[in-house]
Amino acid sequence: MSITDREPVPAELLDTVRTKHSALWALGDYPAVADEVIPSLGAVLVEACDVGRGDHVLDVAAGSGNAAIPAALAGADVVASDLSPVLLAAGRERAAERGAVLRWEVADAHALPFDDGAFDVVMSCVGVMFAPFHELAAGELTRVARPGGTIGTIAWTPDGFIGQMFATMKPFAPPPPPGAQPPPWWGDELHVRSLLGDRVTDLRAEVRGLVVDRFASGVEFRDFFKATYGPTIATYRFLGEDSARVAELDAALADLADAHLADGTMTWDYLVVRATRA
């Protein structure tokens, strides 16, 4: 079945997902993850997209501005969009602290409230990957980019550390909505090529590694993500008072991180994609 042959996602389901995901990313303290664990990742995407002065840029699923703020500091006219008002509020604070001027708008990656071809650059740094209906989100990324404009994404790879973390949590987590696709598929080049299709040209993709030196042990990693990272918090909440299952997940996450730690560092693989809107 081709992408265009797929059944449309019911409006009621989209509304439900929108509400749940807005609440999900308000759990914990995702800005702490962005600030303490992956602070350099947004600037990597800004550089990959060659964002410069005067570019009209949309950052989709921008969170607290990990990529949007560096784009604004590069001189671009930036709109940062996200489902979570909580994350946007955190982003406004960080932008003010760094002297960055940009707009912040609540928006769903499945249905962006912007005109066709409105932006020179449309980008997303480990953000749009969490919109569960990939075809819808990819269609929106390309729709709002002008012909000849740039589309850029960074996503965790399925086989990298974060992809493995999601695979580890999956047996313990609530079931995804019908028709949802796993977030790390956005980190697979063939999947991204199939999503964007002939709506883009000159697609270039490269797997890179982010060196993370924030955690001295697997237990430290696990406890930090249990306290800050929405998907991990939601998984534990789903387990409720089942102490045996909680202990099982505790051990699995700590063991996974320990297996990736060497001399206090881990390398988290991600896929960076840049393409031109056809």
Half-sphere exposure of 175 (CA within 13 A, CB side): 3
Distance CA 59, CA 81 (A): 6
- Domains of the chain plus CATH, in order, are 3-166+174-211+269-277 (3.40.50.150)
What does the pLDDT look like over 188-239, one tens digit per residue?
A: 999 999 999 999 999 999 999 999 999 999 999 999 999 999 999 999 999 9
Percent of the chain topping pLDDT 90: 97
Phi, psi of 118, deg, nearest 5: -80, -15
What are the CA-CA distances from residue 197 to residues 9, 73, 124, 144 (Å)?
20, 32, 18, 16
Put simply, whether the predicted model's pTM sits higher than 0.85 gets the answer yes
Find where tokens 């390309």 sit: 142
Percent of the chain topping pLDDT 70: 98
Distance CA 53, CA 34 (A): 24
Confidence of residue 7 (pLDDT cuts 50, 70, 90): confident
What does the pLDDT look like over 130-161, one tens digit per residue?
A: 999 999 999 999 999 999 999 999 999 999 99
If 0-12 CB within 10 Å is exposed, 13-18 middle and 19+ buried, where does residue 99 land?
exposed
Half-sphere exposure of 29 (CA within 13 A, CB side): 11
pLDDT of residue 6: 64
What does the pLDDT look like over 74-110, one tens digit per residue?
A: 999 999 999 999 999 999 999 999 999 999 999 999 9
